[in-house]
Structure 1
Amino acid sequence: MTSIPLAEELLLLAYDDRTGKATGSRIGLDLGMAAAVLVDLALAGRVHYVDGYLKVTDASPIGDPIADAVLAKLAEAEPHTPAQWLQRLRHRLRTRVLEDLVTRGVVQDVDETQMGAIHVHRYPTTDHAYEVDIRKRLADALISDGICDERTAALATLLSACRMEPALRLPAEEVARAHDRLEQIATGAGFSGTANLEDSIVRPSVALVVATLGKAIQAALGTPKAV
């Protein structure tokens, strides 16, 4: 199956298939999705982390409307830190991603009126194929001690940074192990910022971007509760 943007993967994991409502931290998801767009640009070789800032090294589009719009914004603006870009990009990003998913028939926009005047939108899944593929990749990564690909390692790292372990829908007794494995994947990929990048399983340029974005998300969310 053709891969979809990482921001879409995070959103599909976070939204309940049946109720169409987001689960977990809303701010965590919004920050994670903003980071995911930047990670996709790093994976495509367009953005690098240089001297504390995210900088565009190749402004040519990658073919995704949202990522290309972000790339153009990065190319035109003064350099900003990863934390600054997360805050600048997270607003309305979820709405744009949901609109794209609705247009493609992946989720449905259910507009309900509550109390006679308040409109509430739900987004139940209509095409489960993408999410099935995402969850399979993550499940394989969680039960294996082996090395996973760059995209899956990046997704695992973002899930951990955003504290989205509940989105994995695991039994309560397995959540702590899943958290440890997600962190293990991040460390093995060089995404935790603690590993020697020469030993990273991914490109050092990508590892730097993911590591700095992960730290920025964690700083924005504050001290986590014990898992």
Structure 2
Amino acid sequence: MTSIALAEELLLLAYDDQTGKATGSRIGLDLGMAAAVLVDLALAGRIAYVNGNIVVTDATPTGEPIADLVLAKAAGDSPHTPAQWVQRLRHRLRERVLEDLVSRGVIRDVDETQLGAIHVHRYPTTDPACEAEIRKRLAEALITDAIPDERTAALATLLVATRMEPALRLPPEEQARAHERLEEIANGAGFAGGANLEDSIVRPSVALVVATLSRAITAALGAPKTP
């Protein structure tokens, strides 16, 4: 697996570099991060979507601690649907990912006390290189018609499903086109039902996992609120 997990990529995009506070929907982020752990396992060839459930196809550890905990749990448990998995995994996942990023020096934990007793944690960026690489990949995918790699396509799809496009911090005049392009990527990957999986820009086995997880997130979040 890569040096930074998809769940970490979503979190870094969602947290403000300076204030260290989460932006956007917290539930959407948590669901997206849960799905991202499973997507990474699919990318690594460890899980697949079979007969409505996420199943383990290879229990060999990947070397990524959080993903491997999930892999071991899935291998020793009965199969669950994508919707069940994102709900099971989202609780306390963000805290664990934040702790990992702090331990690696990517962000820092600022513990502030409010009203004399309430501890509030902020996580401003310490090493901007990781997030810069993520934003560079997404920017290239948004401004060109080039086919993105599997991870970037999956990340783009999760951004749409979790309604995290504001985390891209684009000017208002670019937001509509960015949303359209993100959906194009998702459709081209077969993640949103817009393409035959055999013609997908990613492996069909991965596309199935991402597509079902994307639908699970959309169902969990419900219909978007109208202005």
TM-score norm. by structure 2 comes to 0.98
Match of 2:209 in 1: 209
Q: Distance in 2 between matches of 1:221 and 1:5?
A: 23
Q: Is the 8 A contact 1:193 1:212 kept in 2?
A: no
Q: Distance in 1 between matches of 2:194 and 2:83?
A: 19
**How far 1:139 moved relative to its partner?**
0.2
Q: Is the 8 A contact 1:48 1:55 kept in 2?
A: yes
Match of 2:60 in 1: 60
> Cα deviations across residues 165-220 of structure 1 (Å, max 9, x unaligned)?
00000011211111111010000111112321011011000000000000000000
- More deviation, 167-176/41-50: 167-176
> Cα deviations across residues 100-135 of structure 1 (Å, max 9, x unaligned)?
000000000000000111000000000000000000
- DSSP 3-state at the match of 2:54: strand
Residue identity over aligned pairs, in percent, reads 80
What RMSD in Å do the two structures reach over aligned CA positions? 1.1
Match of 1:131 in 2: 131
Q: Distance in 2 between matches of 1:182 and 1:226?
A: 21
Match of 2:187 in 1: 187
72 and 26 in structure 1: CA distance in 2 versus 1, 3 angstrom threshold: same
Match of 2:100 in 1: 100
> Cα deviations across residues 115-159 of structure 1 (Å, max 9, x unaligned)?
111000000000000000000000000001120000000000000
- DSSP 3-state at the match of 1:113: strand
Q: Is the 8 A contact 2:24 2:167 kept in 1?
A: yes
- DSSP 3-state at the match of 1:121: strand
Match of 1:157 in 2: 157
Q: Is the 8 A contact 1:56 1:74 kept in 2?
A: yes
Match of 2:20 in 1: 20
Q: Is the 8 A contact 2:188 2:194 kept in 1?
A: no
> Cα deviations across residues 10-45 of structure 1 (Å, max 9, x unaligned)?
000000000000000000000000000000000000
Match of 1:45 in 2: 45
Structure 1 stretches of 5 or more lacking a match?
none
Q: Distance in 1 between matches of 2:225 and 2:43?
A: 31
Q: How many residues align?
A: 226
> Cα deviations across residues 39-87 of structure 1 (Å, max 9, x unaligned)?
0000000000000000000000000000000000111111100000000
Q: Distance in 1 between matches of 2:169 and 2:161?
A: 17
**Which residue identity lines up with residue 185 of structure 1 in the other structure?**
I
TM-score norm. by structure 1 comes to 0.98
Q: Distance in 1 between matches of 2:177 and 2:160?
A: 12
Q: Is the 8 A contact 1:83 1:213 kept in 2?
A: yes
**How far 1:91 moved relative to its partner?**
0.3
Q: Distance in 2 between matches of 1:57 and 1:4?
A: 23
Structure 2 stretches of 5 or more lacking a match?
none
**Which residue identity lines up with residue 36 of structure 1 in the other structure?**
A
Q: Does 1:77 align with 2:77?
A: yes
Q: Is the 8 A contact 1:193 1:208 kept in 2?
A: no
Match of 1:114 in 2: 114
